[in-house]
Structure 1
Amino acid sequence: MEPFHPREWQGHLFGTVEKNLEDRNVIALEAPTGSGKTSFILYLSFMSGKKLIYVTRTHNEFTRLYEDNIKYFDLPVIYLYGKSTLCPLKERWYDSDEESQKNVCKGCILKDKIMDIDMHIKMPPDDYYNKIISLSIENIRNDINNNLIKRDSKGNLIQTGNGNITAYCPYYSVRSSMKNATVVAMTYNYLLNPSIRFNIFHGTEGEESMDINDYYIIFDEAHNIDSVIENFGRSISEKTVNGSINELVDTFPLEEYKCHERIGANLLLEKLEKDIEGTKSGDDLKLFRFSDDVKSRLGDINYIQIFSEKFQAINDNRPIKERRRNYLETVYNFLYDAQRLENGDIYSQKFYPERGDPYKRLRIMYYNTSEYLKFLKNKPVLFMSGTMPSADHISKIWNFENMLYIRVNDIFYNTGGVKKYSIVKGFSTLGRYRDNTEIWSDILKKYMEFIIKTYSNSINSVLVAVPSYKILYGDHDKRIPGIADYLPDELRPFSVFENKKLTYSLIIKKALSDKLIIFSVHGGRLLEGIQITKNNRSLISDVIIAGLPLMPLDDYRKNKIKYLEKTLSGENIYSILYYEYALIKIKQAAGRSTRSPDDMANIYLCDDRFDSKYWRDNLLNN
């Protein structure tokens, strides 16, 4: 371990932050990327002796916590992953959705078999947990070979004698170790989703309960909180409803189940399927309303529940390899929540899976973020990000009125490197230009010319951030081009493009050997929390913001703004949400270029709309 020497801002703010947390106050801390936010909260725990709940948007962000901890502090840390990730018995999972398989552990002999988890790991969390999963699988094989366990006729593992088995459950081992950790790292849904939070902290599955009041609660990348909560609602697709109808027909044929409940469930599902098929879903979220036919039958959802429970009983009795998803339960849960919906509405949208054709789905979308944050009142909470939402946002949208808001850059100079912003005119990604292929092609060619010029003059790699995948790749069904279509062939070996299969390790490997053009999308994985560095210095020297990433004003956004303005008595929510959304996206992209106080980067704002007072005040003059 190296000795930790606090940076100037960390040393000066330590006492203030600790005192406010001890007084159970809420703190918002904005510190630039590369300034040491993660090491600061570890330092806080190390010096104060307080336990932390460290919350991130994704598991990828555990890496920074691990790296800083192993380098300076070696605090005992537990990284919490989901059941489906840690389960060594993958054959028990007939669906990737944990919500649809709440009973997956029922009857599993490994549930109460736990091992000691190393809380001082010397390898990245993903690698360590893959190792303990592999070890559990190996132990299962050995126990079978030693006649300690075997599979019954349905494929379940059963114990054959009184010998001590060596196999264990990685998931429950992690859960059982949480109480002994100084830092418990988890993703937002484990803490913010009420039912999951209750399960985790109240020991509902046999493990020892944890008192949340014993911890400082740290939200990293806190600018993501709104978008995470917006998506807590359940969803169903036309495929889900069709699957539920098939389950009902195949498992409970009318010839054998001639009852009012069976007929009522069938009629409701068929009417619902017709509603979804008839909705005009697109890429944007569109407000959805049930037809009168469906509304008149929503009182019959208990019929769906009856057959869902019957189906689950049959399913649990099947051999493991023959079990399948309970679509009836999925539809019932959606309709149950929809009937009781107060803080949101139902929206339709076209969904594009990685494989297969796009399909329509309905989503319950929530408006009021503060409902999910109110349990944090009178608790020691620190929200932190390189791009924190404004004080107005936190006080009005999140409903934390009495808080300490700290902007590190307002107090200390150059805590996270220097970014030089400049507006480059003659560009725009306005929708009206995309409607004319000839005009849009000329704009994209001009963007690419600027990208190539910047790349040829750059010291290190160039990051290009665009508002959407359609601007990056185009819409080839409609014969609308994207920026990627104009990249010269000779530069393709030195370019990487944001997509779901692109890995962080691949980018690092390429960036260490070549100067790259990295094409990314605002809100995508490449612009959230990743570090492309060598010797703690950023490998990105220039960032091109190719278009203004404004919030899409679809039906959901418009209705959320109306709801909040009505709830908050006429506050200007439009300004807080609409422009702040884009400002955070831009700062997040720019932040990839400065990962230490010694980094310097050029940030090019390539859209004519940046030439206004708001953007000059918040970027050029800030």
Structure 2
Amino acid sequence: MELRDWQKQLKDKVINAVKEGFLVALNSPTGSGKTLFSLLIGLNTKGRVIFVVRTHNEYFPVYRDVKKIDPSLKFSFVIGKPSACPFATKDVDTEDINCKYCEIKNAIEVKIDKSPFEKLKELKENAIKEGFCPYYSLLESAKEADIITITYPYFFIEKYLSLLDINLEEYFIVIDEAHNIDRVSEIEERTLSEFILSMAIKQSKSEEVRRILDRLIKELKTLTYQDEKYIKLDKVPELSDEELSLLVDEYEELRKEAIKSKSVSRIYLGSVIRFYATYSTGNFIPFSFSNKIVLKTLELNQYYNLLNDENLSILLMSGTLPPKEYLEKVLGISRKILYIDVEKEVKKKVTGSYQCKIAIDVTSKYDLRSEAMWKKYSSYLLKIYYQARNHVLAVFPSYQIMEKVMSYVNVNKILENEGTRIDDVIKIVKESRQKYIIAGVGRGKITEGVEITDNDRSLISDVVLVGVPYPPEDDYMKLLSKKISEKLGGKEKEYLIMIPALITVKQAIGRSIRNINDTALVWLLDKRYDSLWWKKNLNCFNSTKIRL
């Protein structure tokens, strides 16, 4: 198999660093061949690889590259109960599935002889008639595999990692899309909303439970704000131990009934119970966000303990990896790090290219927001749409801004929301003969690690950044900044505001560059991009300034 020039140049350097106990951080652009490279490093150093990805959508590229390297290698993947259970719908929570009462708990040996999603579909179709569980079968089969693909929870969250029952020291561990690991704590966040409580009322059979939930809705409304930012709360709606016990009893009955009826959908009462269980640990702080209460933690370092284990061989990689200092100061990685920026190391481009255009007559800056500004943004989007050679990806700082601007854009469009399924978006775009504006929010479902391609070429020709996606300087950000301020040495704004925004922008651009031959236009619609910092970090020194 022929390697790319950069892979040949850096292979031995990375292998030696791994053998010397370094954590390797590889920053290499989208479409440059990181997946294949990391698998080769792992097979050369440990012989077995655990490949950690953010979403199930990222399983296929790993499977594809394993087959390129050696079709005889044993590939396996682990997938959660909601996706694996033949009786469950996709929106169900893991805890809602009560395996104790299930008739098909047996595990069989699984050979992955087709793509992960195709194999999963086959397993679920055969599970009921053959009497085996796809979830436990995949979990058991992973122990014998040369390459195991898992999602973040199975590495960063102890209760899921323990289910694998493997010795991590025997594997080379690749953590893909590693710019996202600063958000691992979100996996354990819990939310209480009027929607969740209302759905729990509909599902509950107990009049007393419904009465309790109705009271919680009323209290929730008095505590929350509609702002799309985190506002610290001093309390949550009160729930006594006796009331919680009633909710738990009702939940157990609903779980038992669901699995026995062989139809398991989300049981919203479970979400309420888990919210209060998490709050009771004392490690999470309640915040209001968009009329909901979200429990968030400031104890981020607990999620990165394994990264500091010098007995583990680990490669962090991303096309938008934060700088080494960010890994050390924000994430608290204290072991030796070899940080490699591939294009700087080999002194040439290793993937496709893009041209930048900076609009200097618009901004999403808070004190300049207005209906007139949203209309101006919509005019830009229409202008870009009509000149684009293919689909347009528009990325917004928030859902609120997206909805306001896109309400004035009357062309073919897809708007991201909480229920958006990436598979559906890809299907619409691939099957359509017309152009679409695909609108999403920074670091949302559409802008993170999604490949909208045909024959390995991106179907997105234009990427539009509608404003600058700075994280809001809200109560959570202030508390986090205060907690780690000593490490940041007065650079709180750079590490907690500027770098996350830069990663968001680069990730959006990456959706249009999936191949070394891809080219794209990047429209930076905010006058704040017209600065040395942004031009330097986006490599946009030759950008064109534009006005409507």
TM-score, scaled to structure 2: 0.86
Given candidates 92, 98, 101, the residue that maps to 2:94 is 98
* Residues 1:69 and 1:514: Cα distance change in structure 2 (over 3 Å): farther
The answer to whether residue 335 in structure 2 is matched with residue 434 in structure 1 is no
Once the two structures are TM-superposed, the CA of residue 451 in structure 1 deviates from its matched residue by 1.2
* Residues 1:316 and 1:591: Cα distance change in structure 2 (over 3 Å): closer
Given candidates 312, 319, 329, the residue that maps to 1:396 is 329
Match of 1:152 in 2: none
Q: How does 1:76-475 map to 2 (within 5 A)?
A: 76-90=74-88, 96-101=92-97, 104-111=98-105, 113-119=106-112, 121-122=113-114, 124-137=115-128, 139=129, 166-198=130-162, 200-201=163-164, 209-238=165-194, 243=200, 250=207, 275-282=219-226, 283-290=228-235, 294=238, 301=241, 303-304=242-243, 306-307=245-246, 310-311=249-250, 320-321=260-261, 331=272, 333-342=274-283, 344-350=284-290, 360-377=291-308, 378=310, 379-401=312-334, 402-412=336-346, 413-435=348-370, 437=371, 439-448=372-381, 450-452=383-385, 455-456=386-387, 458-474=388-404
Q: Deviations over 1:381-405 (max 9, x none)?
A: 1111100012121001111132111
CA distance in 1, matches of 2:13, 2:53: 23
Once the two structures are TM-superposed, the CA of residue 14 in structure 1 deviates from its matched residue by 1.6
CA distance in 2, matches of 1:617, 1:597: 22
Once the two structures are TM-superposed, the CA of residue 526 in structure 1 deviates from its matched residue by 2.6
Match of 1:617 in 2: 536
Once the two structures are TM-superposed, the CA of residue 216 in structure 1 deviates from its matched residue by 1.4
Once the two structures are TM-superposed, the CA of residue 570 in structure 1 deviates from its matched residue by 4.7
CA distance in 2, matches of 1:582, 1:408: 22
> Contact 2:391–2:459 (CA<8 Å) still a contact in 1?
yes
Alignment-mate amino acid for residue 533 of structure 1: T
Q: Deviations over 1:179-216 (max 9, x none)?
A: 11111111111211122222x13xxxxxxx31122111
CA distance in 2, matches of 1:536, 1:287: 45
Please say which structure displays the higher CA radius of gyration: 1
Given candidates 497, 503, 506, the residue that maps to 2:427 is 506
Query: Matched residue of 1:416: which SS?
Result: coil
Unaligned runs of 5+ in 2: 542-548
> Contact 1:245–1:270 (CA<8 Å) still a contact in 2?
no
* Residues 1:422 and 1:128: Cα distance change in structure 2 (over 3 Å): same
CA distance in 2, matches of 1:505, 1:182: 31
Alignment-mate amino acid for residue 468 of structure 2: L
Q: Deviations over 1:65-109 (max 9, x none)?
A: 12222344333221211112211234xx898122344xx110323
The answer to whether residue 42 in structure 2 is matched with residue 51 in structure 1 is no
CA distance in 1, matches of 2:265, 2:440: 37
Unaligned runs of 5+ in 1: 140-165, 202-208, 254-265, 351-359, 475-481
> Contact 1:315–1:323 (CA<8 Å) still a contact in 2?
no
Question: Alignment identity in percent?
Answer: 29
Alignment-mate amino acid for residue 530 of structure 1: V
> Contact 1:55–1:187 (CA<8 Å) still a contact in 2?
yes
* Residues 1:72 and 1:534: Cα distance change in structure 2 (over 3 Å): farther
CA distance in 1, matches of 2:535, 2:358: 9
TM-score, scaled to structure 1: 0.76
Alignment-mate amino acid for residue 408 of structure 2: D
CA distance in 2, matches of 1:563, 1:572: 13
Alignment-mate amino acid for residue 541 of structure 1: S
> Contact 1:21–1:216 (CA<8 Å) still a contact in 2?
no
Alignment-mate amino acid for residue 409 of structure 2: Y
CA distance in 1, matches of 2:255, 2:511: 48
Q: How does 1:57-68 map to 2 (within 5 A)?
A: 57-68=54-65
CA distance in 1, matches of 2:444, 2:209: 44
* Residues 1:245 and 1:496: Cα distance change in structure 2 (over 3 Å): closer
Query: Matched residue of 1:384: which SS?
Result: strand
Aligned residue pair count: 529
Match of 2:544 in 1: none
Q: CA RMSD in A?
A: 3.3
> Contact 1:551–1:578 (CA<8 Å) still a contact in 2?
yes
Query: Matched residue of 2:446: which SS?
Result: helix
> Contact 1:305–1:328 (CA<8 Å) still a contact in 2?
no
Match of 1:147 in 2: none
CA distance in 1, matches of 2:339, 2:91: 43
